[in-house]
Structure 1
Amino acid sequence: MKADAVFQETFEEIRRDPGVILFTALQWIPERSSLRRLFTSHPEDYPVGGEKTVEISPGWLGTVIEDKMPFLAPDLNALREVFADSELIQRLGCGAVINVPVLDGGRNVVGVLAMLDAEGRYTQQSVETAVDVVNRNLADLTEAFAAHPTEVPGKDTV
């Protein structure tokens, strides 16, 4: 299955439940401690190929990349503490985020799915639902992330 089709299918499933306004699939590039956007529901605001490096907060990295756990910021205050682009996120009507790491067979983080919706929209149940979606699509998602080489030089953009 083609990578974009896998990401699109996962986006559609997330849109149904727990719901999403902005969705991105971000490839983890450990050599640069960066995330490269492979898929986005908002290409004008968050273009494919953009990378996030310096604006990734240490707390977020510790939770999602090191501990391999989902991250929830249920409101704008929590979101602002983690993401430098919180103003753009808010302009898009979002005020809450769920990030779910995608792990390969060796339990290495190969990517992160970012789901954003209105402030207060996400709860712990939303996180569990999002994790279930990732787990149901795990084989296809890991293959989709693997289809993109990580050595391509990126640019530092939101």
Structure 2
Amino acid sequence: MTDTSDMHDHALEIFDDALAVAQSSTEAFDALCDLTQAVVGAKLFTIMTVDMEAGVARRAYTNDPVNYPTSGTKPVEMDSWFEVVHDRHETFVANTLAEIDAVFPDAELIGQLGCGSVVNLPIIEDGQLVATMNILHEEQYYTPARVAVVKEVLTAPAKRAMAFAEPQQRTA
């Protein structure tokens, strides 16, 4: 398969199969992580859920539990990132460590992990932000073409994985 859309279709089929047999939110997000790595690439992949009533965000999934564990919550910060992702429901992109440092307090760790670019894809349900899918790679990695793939190919699977995971996480 050399055609990009054929590769995406194949990766989506693998995702569909994995989601169909998933028994936990971790397995659903593993499938989404694998899909993301196959179609656009990611060194670090996380899912952050958002509880606006409580004003907190929680890391629900990570492919790097040593550096980014899934424990605890952090307060939702009302900043420029929040305006883009929460208020406008737009994808946030930063392609240098300096841009990341302007909005994320853990930029130093991000850089130590060999990452210098990020895409935060909002996961929207019923018009509300419920989570973000966060993918990171080296500086300048998320070109406009890759960001387009994130939006076009990964939005629906991210919603599906989140819909599967939500009931699992309520009982966890």
Q: Cα distance, 1:146 vs. partner?
A: 4.5
Mapped partners of 2:78, 2:67: distance in 1? 21
The match for 1:94 among 91, 96, 115 is 115
Give yes or no for the alignment of 1:79 onto 2:100: yes
Aligned residues: 149
The match for 1:48 among 47, 51, 70 is 70
| Counterpart residue number, 1:156 | none
SS in 1 for 2:140: coil
Q: Cα distance, 1:57 vs. partner?
A: 5.9
Give yes or no for the alignment of 1:24 onto 2:46: yes
Identity %: 27
- CA contact 1:111–1:145 (8 Å) conserved in 2: no
The match for 2:128 among 87, 90, 108 is 108
Length-normalised TM-score, structure 1: 0.85
Amino acid at match of 2:97: L
Amino acid at match of 1:61: F
- CA contact 1:11–1:23 (8 Å) conserved in 2: yes
Q: Cα distance, 1:134 vs. partner?
A: 2.4
| Cα-Cα RMSD | 2.0
| Counterpart residue number, 1:117 | 137
Give yes or no for the alignment of 1:36 onto 2:68: no
Length-normalised TM-score, structure 2: 0.79
SS in 1 for 2:169: coil
Mapped partners of 1:57, 1:146: distance in 2? 27
Amino acid at match of 2:130: V
Q: Deviations over 1:39-89 (max 9, x none)?
A: 1011011111232326x4601101111111110001111111010000000
Structure with the higher helix share, 1 or 2: 2
Q: Which has the higher contact order (CA 8 A, sep 6+)?
A: 1
Q: Cα distance, 1:115 vs. partner?
A: 0.3
- CA contact 2:32–2:157 (8 Å) conserved in 1: no
Which is higher, the Rg of structure 1 or of structure 2? 2
Mapped partners of 2:74, 2:42: distance in 1? 21
Q: Deviations over 1:110-144 (max 9, x none)?
A: 11111000011111222221122122442332331
Structure 2 unpaired stretches of 5+: 1-21
